[in-house]
Structure 1
């Protein structure tokens, strides 16, 4: 009974003390479609993702009701780092939903015009605000409404001690007239947070970095990961493991029984149960302390992911192919940075098309055979079976205007066109493809079926095509699997190689694209299509994570375009919208929402990309 009454009291006091407006709340997920486009359209760094950050302790004054309820200590502000623009997970500061939405747009615009990131907090935000308003005069009205609403919720300077009142007045002046305040002296207490500005001290990793030789566990691809619904990024520090064998360490303290911050030893290799309170605990902590005891699941998986012995590995066709890699921090291409080897499946045996794929394959072959004999209508010809009305009208108008012009081609002719194109399909064979789709099939199985049907379809057209797969284990071991070369006929032997495909390691996509582009560029065709089939973003065990891998892949795609190729990505990653527009452009990729439809989608996509049908 006491617990029930206590719960009711907690809800009542918390609801009464809360200063926000839940009914007018706008969540970041409601802005996820417009936010990246808006940010990049305003000139923001195209390499940054947008996701929610974490609430941090602000140290400002709270009302006595907030203190009684134990709320209001933390606030969510916006900030940027090397890879991400962090925005509040939700905003309900103002009574009007439109204003809360306008605050999201203002913070995105402010981050895009952060012109002086090294200046002091108040100077930096004033310069960013002024740059935003100068570049986007149409936002002046929105900004004025936000400032008015923000000042209405702030503590009036007259109710503060002298030093805090002076600091609050400086903030108000800076909001009213960005650029007018050049010096800022905080009071004894930190000022009340300013949600219209970027974070004064963004959360960063704290503590000592891991010492050389101290292995850092990696999250393996395809491993079981509990989904963070808010996708927050939290501040963390590396610490040493506590040593309970010390006689001077107390293993139990009654007064800390209900503290989230106590160290708890959890054997994650055995305990895979979801903890409903884990997210709440993480949100309550300012800094997450992470220790490595050398016994983690990831450590064992790293051992399991070592390269196979030479006797058990695929045949090596070529070894030591050196490729460059782009370092976005140094802004330079590192020559001969990666080593690639060409492999051919050792245990592949010639086989027929699986029975379950044969009906679809027959349908695709009949469709693609029609492309071979289809006739094209050529306009502006000197002779033909029909008049080209557009050409006739233009010629008549030019002649009537007195412009001297030679008679152009005024006819339409119908001729059989020879298809002159080559396509290389590059498939991601990383360990993440070992994941299951609705407990029906693995991703690798869907990719295998897709490539088989793709080969059946293109075999009917006579188009030149090649099939390759790739995975990697650091930069010294980029593995490229030959499935079908341009000079090979698609048949039972190629099907055998496809049937022998298995999940590999990690995804060093830049090196794989560069090597594939070099192979495709040697073809004599006038059109060259490079199709990349993947289920996730670039990553590897070394520093090829996050933005480093994304920027290297982006440069590799640009290099392929300069070679006259057409790179296009097909992905089943539902988070692809966060990074693929930066890699391939708005029209350079497609997301297949249902992975099991990929075998039918891929051939149809090829028809669209090659401009036929």
Structure 2
């Protein structure tokens, strides 16, 4: 398990990486205790998907009560591996608290009225959404921690040595995290983190890595550069098609200009995907056919508001020649011109790898994106489809399945089906790039972005109210540029969803979406036509001018 220093004042974990506040660099004992607590949680099955989902809905207070009980339980399971000074501190923190037998019991007690003290700072904190978004939650029947409990005990730690380290010694936290660990604490830490060496390993792998970003999972974590002549940015040492975007800081009430980088990539090809060739949903096509239509003048009509002089002359000539004919001599204006451009934006982040009623959320989302793209393509609507995920503010990746200027071919369909869930959800940056793409590349009068995702927003330094408000601002900015935004989810969204009620629906598939199209998509397009583009009190220069 890698360790990473963070600017946060409280230690935490995303289920893969332990984040240590930089302020603890001069307080080795508390930093060590923090690592033990967080590593024990990870290795004991405390991060179960079913439990974390319920904690995510219950709020931070219940999550911290659960943390208190689970640290006591997980550390009790590996008690023989831990330094005596840590166990003494743990006993003081949890005096008279009965350890739970399983995560489910800890959850039940955390949600009850049982009196529990607040956990000390060196327990860290538990953020369920962070672990779920990273895709690091374990299955409900995960047996993590059994191997640790059954491991051979470590040599009895030297209490005198541990106390000496605690009193006034220069901070060695960086050395401990970047060099071989030989102290009793170090041996315990290596066991907990799963980084101990076996005999005969030599010196290779001695170092405990300090990392700056987690490695993602799934096919979408690797990709090829999208070719093209569009503006490029430097991302991960490469020049990629993309742009820099601002981010709204709700705490300071200002924008961080050019704060995020969004780059476009082709998803890594997958060998086991093949388009099914299924026909688009007919009901969905009928509903979508009424969207984004512009007025168009039709000539030679039997009825209308104005005469078609050319048709009138032709009729007169035909009658004079003795041929006669139907009097099609009017012009009529009807809404038949298809002037709609739609960008489908698929949330391909780790949180969508969760299951709902036994079905993988991401698979249902991807199927919905496939069906909507197919229906729009059959109607001749200019359509583009992308997935997205992020790994920090300077690495937001757009995964190209179909651009506006290419057909919905088998190759494009394979690209969409090759996308898998990975990384985090910096939704504000993704919406801003989608807005820019549809505004500059669709070439249509009416423009719509459809975001298909679970509504969970989280990334490094992007969580809570900060992330929610930035995502909402990105939706407002799109309206100011004349781009309509609508959201779709295949499972219920969090209570603090970024979506206004009128701009979001929960649907399982294309059949459920069809009757919602007029209110959701049509309503979004109607509202954006009436939006004043100069009315945003704090808008960034990127709102009206683009990138």
Q: For the superposition of Structure 1 and Structure 2, which TM-score range results when normalised by the shorter chain?
A: 0.5 to 0.7
Does the 8 A contact of 1:261 with 1:285 survive in 2?
Answer: no
What TM-score, normalized to structure 2?
A: 0.54
**Structure 1 counterpart of 2:403:** 485
SS in 2 for 1:513: helix
Residue 372 (structure 2) pairs with residue 454 (structure 1): yes
Pick aligned residue for 2:84 from 238, 241, 245: 245
Deviation at 1:557, TM superposition (A): 1.2
Does the 8 A contact of 1:464 with 1:486 survive in 2?
Answer: yes
Deviation at 1:492, TM superposition (A): 0.7
Pick aligned residue for 1:344 from 266, 270, 278: 266
**Structure 2 counterpart of 1:279:** 110
Pick aligned residue for 1:335 from 229, 237, 257: 257
CA–CA distance in structure 1, aligned partners of residues 335 and 488 of structure 2: 31
**Structure 1 counterpart of 2:196:** none
**Structure 1 counterpart of 2:345:** 426
Q: Deviations over 1:36-95 (max 9, x none)?
A: xxxxxxxxxxxxxxxxxxxxxxxxxxxxxxxxxxxxxxxxxxxxxxxxxxxxxxxxxxxx
CA–CA distance in structure 2, aligned partners of residues 576 and 300 of structure 1: 17
Deviation at 1:503, TM superposition (A): 0.6
Alignment of 1:44-63 (within 5 A): none
**CA 1:210/1:603 → structure 2, altered by over 3 Å: closer, same or farther?**
farther
SS in 2 for 1:548: helix
Residue 222 (structure 2) pairs with residue 313 (structure 1): yes
Alignment of 1:313-462 (within 5 A): 313-317=222-226, 319-320=234-235, 321-348=243-270, 353-354=275-276, 358=278, 361=280, 363-364=282-283, 367=286, 385=303, 413=332, 415=334, 417-439=336-358, 441-462=359-380
**CA 1:292/1:349 → structure 2, altered by over 3 Å: closer, same or farther?**
same
Structure label with greater radius of gyration = 1
CA–CA distance in structure 1, aligned partners of residues 447 and 48 of structure 2: 32
**CA 1:252/1:546 → structure 2, altered by over 3 Å: closer, same or farther?**
closer
Deviation at 1:348, TM superposition (A): 4.4
Does the 8 A contact of 1:451 with 1:599 survive in 2?
Answer: no
Deviation at 1:328, TM superposition (A): 1.0
**CA 1:220/1:426 → structure 2, altered by over 3 Å: closer, same or farther?**
farther
Deviation at 1:435, TM superposition (A): 1.3
CA–CA distance in structure 2, aligned partners of residues 563 and 322 of structure 1: 17
**CA 1:422/1:309 → structure 2, altered by over 3 Å: closer, same or farther?**
closer
Does the 8 A contact of 1:368 with 1:460 survive in 2?
Answer: no
Deviation at 1:600, TM superposition (A): 2.6
Residue 54 (structure 2) pairs with residue 227 (structure 1): yes
Does the 8 A contact of 1:435 with 1:442 survive in 2?
Answer: yes
**Structure 2 counterpart of 1:468:** 386
Residue 502 (structure 2) pairs with residue 502 (structure 1): no
**Structure 1 counterpart of 2:313:** none
CA–CA distance in structure 2, aligned partners of residues 535 and 352 of structure 1: 25
CA–CA distance in structure 2, aligned partners of residues 368 and 252 of structure 1: 64
What TM-score, normalized to structure 1?
A: 0.49
SS in 2 for 1:227: helix
Does the 8 A contact of 1:377 with 1:412 survive in 2?
Answer: no
SS in 2 for 1:483: strand
CA–CA distance in structure 2, aligned partners of residues 246 and 350 of structure 1: 53
**CA 1:248/1:478 → structure 2, altered by over 3 Å: closer, same or farther?**
closer
Deviation at 1:578, TM superposition (A): 3.4
User: How large is the Cα RMSD of the aligned pairs?
Assistant: 5.0
Residue 473 (structure 2) pairs with residue 555 (structure 1): yes
Range with greater deviation from structure 2 (224-233 or 426-435): 224-233
**CA 1:484/1:272 → structure 2, altered by over 3 Å: closer, same or farther?**
same
CA–CA distance in structure 2, aligned partners of residues 499 and 280 of structure 1: 40
Does the 8 A contact of 1:471 with 1:506 survive in 2?
Answer: yes
CA–CA distance in structure 2, aligned partners of residues 606 and 247 of structure 1: 59
**Structure 1 counterpart of 2:429:** 511
**Structure 1 counterpart of 2:446:** 527
Residue 515 (structure 2) pairs with residue 600 (structure 1): no
CA–CA distance in structure 2, aligned partners of residues 311 and 534 of structure 1: 16
**CA 1:514/1:450 → structure 2, altered by over 3 Å: closer, same or farther?**
same
Does the 8 A contact of 1:349 with 1:497 survive in 2?
Answer: no
SS in 2 for 1:339: strand
SS in 2 for 1:234: helix
Does the 8 A contact of 1:314 with 1:345 survive in 2?
Answer: yes
Does the 8 A contact of 1:350 with 1:494 survive in 2?
Answer: no
Deviation at 1:462, TM superposition (A): 0.3
Alignment of 1:196-215 (within 5 A): 211-212=23-24
SS in 1 for 2:61: coil
**CA 1:244/1:589 → structure 2, altered by over 3 Å: closer, same or farther?**
same
